[in-house]
Amino acid sequence: MSQGFEIKSASAKKSFPSHPQLQEVAEIKAIQQSLVQHFADLKDPRVERTKKHLLTDILTVAILAIIAGAQGWEDIENYGISKKKWLEEFLVLPYGIPSDDTFRRVFEFIDPEALNRCFFRWVETLVTRTGGAIIPIDGKTIRGSYDRNQGKSALHVITAWSAEQRLVLAQMKVDDKSNEITAIPALLELLDITDCIITIDAMGTQTEIAQKIIDKKGNYVLSLKANHPTLYAQVREWFEQAKAHQFSGLDFSYDQRIESGHHRREIRQVWSVPITVISELYQPRLWAGLKSVVMVVRVRHLWNKTTREVQFYLTSLDSDAQLLGRAIRKHWGIENEAHWTLDCTFAEDACRIRSFHSPQNLAVLRRLALNALNREPTYKRSLRQKMKRAAMDNDYLIQIIRSCLTDNILDSSESFCQA
């Protein structure tokens, strides 16, 4: 692996004619240094006699191509061919641009767990730790990854999302014969969730998961639905009666928000009460740290109809409707800003790459690209427009990558340029 991640020396190429070009090469070399730092434990799956291309070259071209909108192996090869003259300024490329088959074979056999650990290590350098951060956790099926002939079901992954920083924090594959209930504790084990608020939909509303979050010094907001029929029916009936009497004489917190946009108007009302207010709550001791129960009523006025939705939540937070309403609202960020973007901008569901480990490894690269694009704040356009500009403008692509580098890597690139 030390050979695979060898950094190309400055003497291996002819001298650079101008300072701006030297600066550009220095910054791109910082990309390689970052790869060495965060992906050094990644083992090259190829045998020695087949290592025509360095693993660092393959990874770098693949990452840059996906940031620029590549959706498969041929796209990655075409990106490399189109940018070959530029890539040769900072990559070794001893045999030119790797073929699409080379990219496919390498990512088929790279250990996905090792690549995921490298991704997580890189994300740790980007995340700013703040108390009270909201971390939604949700699952996503990569629908095009099934293989009917091999009897292989579609890949399903659990993702942790930073709502404020708009970053994928970590992901975990759900085993074929398992479900999200067993994968979520393993994902939580990776994260430092001290003083954070974890939001999970009804699938993850389990006593073991609540205990895991409390053990790791976090807080939770869990959606309560009919998969816990007795508790759900009791909470629903209690809130219906309390609302009918306008919560008279009860200790409760209330908040209301009205939002308009996209030809609709939504009114969200949030009520929260301490569990001590609800007499004889069904087995509350099973839920570690449980303090409050929440009801959210959403009324949406569309151009042709009006809908009303009522949902209930269990939480380890104190009864504060404003805070709880914000956490519940932020949970949808993982659907709108992560899963929807991966499907519609990165075409993840439509991708038919499905052999061996390639679906899982490509999913990691997409999330790396999503984080990189979200980290670049200067170009105030959609992610799709950012990707198109990155494909056309090498300087902007460097700017995207630069926003993802740690300070010590940037300092080293500046030292290189001064030298």
106-118 pLDDT, tens per residue?
Answer: 999 999 999 999 9
List the domains of the chain with CATH numbers: 10-111+357-418 (no CATH), 117-340 (3.90.350)
Sheet with 219-224, edge to edge strand ranges? 167-173, 155-162, 134-142, 197-200, 219-224, 306-315, 292-301, 264-274, 253-261
Give CA–CA dist 48/7, Å, rounded: 19
The single-letter DSSP state of residue 152 is: B
261-276 pLDDT, tens digit per residue, is 888 899 999 999 999 9
315-373 pLDDT, tens digit per residue, is 999 999 999 999 999 999 999 999 999 999 999 999 999 999 999 999 999 999 999 99
Close Cβ partners of 375 (under 8 Å, ≥ 6 residues apart) = 126, 167, 400, 403, 404
Give CA–CA dist 68/323, Å, rounded: 38
CA 320 to chain centre: 28
Pair of tokens at residue 38: 């965060």
pLDDT at 21: 64
pLDDT at 413: 42
DSSP-assigned beta bridge partners for residue 139: 158
How far CA 363 is from CA of 189, 195, 210, 242, 350, in Å, comes to 21, 29, 28, 46, 13
pLDDT at 34: 72
Pair of tokens at residue 258: 């009205």
Q: Is 141 helix (H, G, I), strand (E, B) or coil?
A: strand
Q: Cβ distance 168 to 366 under 8 Å?
A: no
Stated pTM of the model: 0.89
Which residue pairs from 112-117 have beta carbons closer than 8 angstroms and sit at least 24 positions apart in sequence? 112/173, 112/357, 112/360, 112/361, 112/364, 114/41, 114/42, 114/43, 115/39, 115/42, 115/361, 115/364, 116/170, 116/171, 116/172, 116/360, 116/364, 117/41
CB burial of residue 19 (10 Å; 0-12, 13-18, 19+): exposed
Q: What parts of the chain have a pLDDT lower than 70?
A: 1-25, 28, 31-32, 35-36, 129-130, 177, 406-419
